[in-house]
Amino acid sequence: MSINTILFDLDGTLIDTNELIISSFLHTLGKYYPDRYQREDVLPFMGPTLHETFESVNPEKVEEMISVYREYNIKNHDVLVKEFAGVFETVRTLKESGYKLGIVTTKVSNVVEKGLRLTNLDQFFDVVVTLDHVDKPKPDAEPILKALSLLDAKPEEAIMVGDNSHDIDGGKNAGTKTAGVAWTVKGRDFLTRFEPDYMLDNMADLLDILEAEKQ
């Protein structure tokens, strides 16, 4: 059965929010634990929800730390966020070719909308499932299955594209094909361990994969 639906993670996959996220974590953690956290220390925090991350750091101050993080994140968003090479053109081609397109992210809606507008990607997606829309985020299957339902698509006709283990495991749990992106900040080797069906060196690789899937 050929693929007719593509679901994307947002951060680190479609838009380059890496510097924004890293600096937001360093700002927040620096306020509570001066000089304790370095850049490499916060890389494991990229992917899980903010609640999961800050609960692992300080269960007593989770909501407070999320608030500090989000305030900094939104204030610095438009300065630090960029799009990855090849993303806009590839997504536009997919849309023009009639594919159903959705986003499944562990971010909250208002920040997602901000990033999509900034990169002009908002015009291409029929469905955006954010943290606000689900009880259980990726790697649980719920958000992916929700996006598929809204797109009237079946898991076996879909592929989940992402830069983190949550995306690959989430896709597998939902029964979709999976694709990792080699530009993940955690490194290609890290993502390969989760055995995605495909690894993209550039987003345009997706077009070749979809063509091959039709055979």
**Which amino acids are annotated catalytic?**
9
How many other C-beta atoms can be found within 10 angstroms of the C-beta atom of residue 156?
12
CA distance 25 to 18: 11
Q: Helix H segments across 33-164?
A: 39-42, 50-57, 62-80, 87-96, 109-118, 142-150
**Rounded to the nearest 5°, which phi and psi values hold at 77?**
-55, -60
CA distance 186 to 12: 10
CA distance 185 to 159: 21
Count Cβ atoms within 10 A of the Cβ of residue 19 and give its class: 0-12 exposed, 13-18 middle, 19 or more buried. middle
